[in-house]
Amino acid sequence: MISFALHNLRHRKASFAGAFLALLCAAALVCAFGMLLETGLRGTIAAARYAGTPVIVAGDQNVRETIRKSEDKVKTKAKPIAERAWIAAGLADRLRALPGVTSVVTEVTFPAYITGVFSGTGAEPGASTSSAAPSADAPMASTLFLGHGWESSALTPFTVAQGRAPKADDEVVTDAAAGLRVGSRVTIQSTAEPRVYRVVGVTAQALENQPTLFFLTAEARRLAGHPGLVSAIGVFPATEVTAALKDASAQAPAEVKGAVAVAYTGEARGPLEFLNADKARIKLISLGGALGGTSLLVAIIVVVGTFALSIQQRLREIALLRAVAATPRQIRKMIGAEALLISLPAGAIGAALGLGLGFWLQARFVALSAIPVNLKLVVSPFPIFAAVLATVVAAWTAARVSARRTARVRPVEALGDAALAPAALSLVRVLAGLGCIAGGVTLTIVLSTLSSEAASNPVTMLTALLWTVAVALLGPVIARILVSVPALPLRASGAGGYLAAANLRTGARRLASVIAPLTLMVTMTCTILFVQDTTGHAVATQQRDGTRAAHVLGPHVSATAVEAVRHAPGVTAVTEILHTTVRIGLAKHGAQAVTPTGLGKTMDLGVRSGSIDLLAENTVAVSETLGFKVGDQIKLTLGDGTPAALKVVATYTRNLGFGDLTLAHSLVAAHVDNPLSDTVLVTGSSPEGLAKALRNFPGIMVADQATVAAEREQAGAEINYVAMGLIIAFTVIAVGNTLAMATSDRTREFALLRLVGTTRRQILRMLRLETLSVVAISVLLGTAAALITISAFSSGMTGSALPYISPLTYALIVVGAAILALAATGFPARLALDGHPAETIGARE
């Protein structure tokens, strides 16, 4: 059968080109997403600032929970915390006393923003400066710098190329990439009030993706805002210090004890330096696994349809083989061999393209700040082998499934079957379709109960795919039922319409192979786009309805700026808001920290029970979705790992807009890396009055809540759009591919129509009407599948089964599907109509 398979490939290139292209795209996606998955599992974060330091002593960046499964079996689970855990500065003295330690360097790390730059009149550090001329090479005010004390410059190490090290608390040294000159004056907004500093030095070095500012050590510790604590301690040379840490931590003063100290060496230094590394790796694991699996499922659906269409086009050939004594087993072996011969090169070429696609995805995620630049993409043979293997298995399975019925027909029925394939479905196919419907119903019910995006997103895509698979399996039956609707008006619309109606009525099996990928495209596109829109709209609605303040200030608002606003004429209430992440047990929850005074005038959380007026440092308000009641005690872990036990004083409904927990600002501010308020709600006054009050605080903008919310949600949505957009592109290619194959196979039909007097124009009109009818059916089915899925998602996430669907976006999807279908059928049809009808029939025969 291998020789027959090779012969078929040589002489039926057009029939197999569609399957080859579908498999190639599938292999590329599986390889690319496999690279992301492997990077999440095995990727390492290269240390940059800590690369030259053998041992870094810092706080434990995990919250741990011990689970006792039995008397003899105890398991400890760990999850990363969101903020930096600080340790006692006194540990440095104890580490210096350890044998073999030659040097100990303490470090504090804090965020700093340059909000104004002015060039001085002289290049020397002591020269006078002028505030009249802004520096042309000043960095953007939105650029985040990392502030450190000059003592920690030895960790990298940094050396001064121009000027000198800072000697006063109003002096600063910038790195080589900052674009500042010695003698410039800069206004820096750090964790405290903004202050003007003089640039007295520029380093010879700069770290990638880590713009750095060095202050006098005492000033840096003041700005860090953690008295008696440091963010890390560097130990030279490499030595075993772990055993001494426990004793040193225990002897630290209680008021400055800080977090549990841990020694980090080797590859462990990178994640400590880039605290979002673990979050990025988890994101890559979830994206790579979910999207790789989705790509494979989509590929199987597409390839099954493509092979089914290819086999339909060869029914006469297969019938002749059966008539000359070819056994069903030989037919299946031949079709299986064809699948292997197609899938192996398609998988290899696709996997090679997938490598480039993986690097492109990594670059996009870095640009969107989803992963750190130091998380390098892991390149190994495993994603390549997985892509090739998945492609081969998908192709072989699709070919055998598609050939199952054709190979089993009796020889005397074969030619009749080739002439007119009956639309009856096998019992196995019907049962499989009904099983997919049952699975879709089950997953839809499950999805309606999920209230977190992490849990609902994978289920959402699987639910949509199951509904689409059901459509593909029961396609001929669905097509026969639905084509009767457009057939009635088509028969009354001239010769082209009459022919289109006749084809729709008799070609149910061929139509099913075209409807399936079109339905898949509409379902996937609607689901991906409108799930994001539904969540974003719910967030925006809750924030709009829950925000009573007229003005929103941000970002990075200091306590001094807030006080200036409070004393502005007409201001009646000011609420500072700081966003963070806390853990209840090991479960992660978004939280907001607010100033309780006057909260009712600026914010309405939709309180269901209790009173938000009782919010204080030892209390908390929670979303009712968490299941707590007023009076309950919640043990949680703050962003930097500090435990807290808080009493529930209120439950509320608007958790999407304001987070699962609402805490007191004074409690949280001391346990985050950046205590500056993300936003500040203000009632009373006017934009002009606020601008006047903030004239000494550059960089703070006056906006509305919707604008701030949109900016906060944009990055996360873009990440999903980039990844899921590839699957949409794959389905678009598959749809065009299938439609072109289906149209190309009708060359003989077009020639016969022309011989009996049908004009070229009538045939093209027939095709357009057929195509538009198929698009209408596919849009109907795809919309129904997507709507069921999105409604279940919306019910779980927002509490309402009514999703948000943009009419314009939906119209563009429908129009796009129609244009794609018309183009994919029109072009091959025109090519098929170019030849002489008699010659075409002779060639086909």
pLDDT average, residue stretch 746-763: 77
pLDDT tens profile 458-472: 888 889 888 988 888
Confidence of residue 42 (pLDDT cuts 50, 70, 90): confident
Q: Which of 292, 295, 388, 371 is nearest to 35 (CA)?
A: 292
Mean predicted confidence (pLDDT) in 317-336: 74
Ranking 78-87, 108-117, 417-426, 694-703 by mean pLDDT, the lowest is: 417-426
Residue 650 confidence (pLDDT): 94
For residues 19-41, b (16+ Cβ closer than 10 Å) or e, as one string? bbbbbbbbbbbbbbbbbbbbbbe
What amino acid occupies position 239? Answer: T
Quote the pLDDT of residue 353: 92
Amino acid at 509: R
Mean pLDDT on 183-202: 88
Nearest Cα residue to 529 out of 714, 795, 790, 736 = 790
C-alpha to C-alpha distance for 389 and 340, rounded to whole angstroms: 11
Share of the chain above pLDDT 70, in %: 81
- pLDDT of the residue at 839: 53
The two beta strands, 261-265 and 587-594, are: unpaired
Structure tokens, 414: 């074969």
pLDDT at 171 over 90: yes
The pLDDT of residue 592: 94
CA distances from 375 to 248, 281, 372, 673 (A): 33, 9, 6, 22
233-265 tens-digit pLDDT = 998 876 667 656 655 544 444 444 567 888 888
Burial of residue 419 (CB within 10 Å: 0-12, 13-18, 19+) is exposed
Could you tell me the two tokens for 831? 């090519």
The span from the CA of 183 to the CA of 512, in Å, is 74
* SS3 annotation, 321-378: HHHCCCCHHHHHHHHHHHHHHHHHHHHHHHHHHHHHHHHHHHHHHHHCCCCCCCECCC
DSSP-derived pairing of the beta strands 619-623 and 551-554 = unpaired
Question: Beta-carbon neighbour count of residue 366 at 10 Å?
Answer: 17
Q: Is the four-CA dihedral 724, 586, 37, 469 of positive or negative sign?
A: negative
d(CA 839, CA 845): 10
Check residues 838 and 387 and name the one with the higher pLDDT: 387
Over residues 422-427, mean pLDDT? 63
Residue 625 has what DSSP assignment?
A: G
**772 DSSP assignment:** H
Query: pLDDT exceeding 90 applies to what percent of the chain?
Result: 21
Q: What pLDDT does residue 194 have?
A: 82
Helices assigned H by DSSP within 745-806: 747-755, 760-798
- Mean pLDDT value across residues 22-34: 86
Q: What is the pLDDT of residue 418?
A: 46
Rounded Cα gap, residues 763 and 498, in angstroms? 11
Kindly indicate the confidence band of residue 130, based on its pLDDT and cuts at 50, 70 and 90. Answer: very low
- Does the structure show a pLDDT above 50 at 441? yes
Question: How many other CB atoms are found less than 10 A from the CB of residue 204?
Answer: 11
Residues 303, 517: Cα–Cα separation, whole Å: 10
Query: Whose structure tokens read 């709009």?
Result: 544
Mean pLDDT across the chain: 80
What the block records as the tokens of 586 is 């090991």
**For 133-142, 272-281, 695-704, which range has the lowest pLDDT when averaged over its residues?**
133-142
Per-residue pLDDT, averaged over 99-111, amounts to: 89
- What average pLDDT does range 347-354 have in this prediction? 91
767 band by pLDDT with thresholds 50, 70 and 90: confident
Q: Kindly state the average pLDDT of the residues 667-692.
A: 86
CB atoms within 10 A of CB 293: 18
pLDDT at 343: 84
The pLDDT-based confidence of 838 (bands split at 50, 70, 90) is low
Q: What residues does each domain of the chain span?
A: 1-45+275-422, 87-274, 423-544+711-845, 556-699
In angstroms, the CA 801 to CA 792 distance is: 6
Predicted local distance difference test score (pLDDT) of residue 249: 47
Q: Can you give the pLDDT at residue 709? A: 53
24-28, 109-113, 405-409, 825-829: the lowest-pLDDT one = 405-409
Is residue 313 over pLDDT 70? Answer: no
Phi, psi of 766 (to 5 degrees): -55, -45
Beta-carbon contacts of 106 under 8 Å, excluding residues fewer than 6 positions away, are 89, 92, 149, 151, 152, 230, 232, 233, 234
Mean pLDDT, rounded, for 741-767: 77
3-state DSSP call for residue 130?
strand
- Residue 5 binned pLDDT confidence (cut-offs 50, 70, 90): low
**188 vs 75: which has the higher pLDDT:** 188
CA–CA gap between residue 828 and residue 415 (Å, rounded): 27
Between residues 186 and 837, the one the model is more confident about: 186
Alpha helices in 448-570 (DSSP H): 453-473, 475-482, 484-491, 494-506, 508-546, 559-566
pLDDT at 412: 58
What integer pLDDT is reported at residue 25 of this predicted model?
85
The answer to whether 183 touches 111, Cβ cutoff 8 Å, is no
Q: What is the pLDDT of residues 458-514, one digit of tens each?
A: 888 889 888 988 888 887 788 777 777 776 677 666 766 667 677 767 666 677 777
> Sorting pLDDT into bands at 50, 70 and 90, what band is 148?
very high
Confidence class for position 406, pLDDT limits 50, 70, 90: low
Pairing mode, strands 212-215 and 144-149: parallel
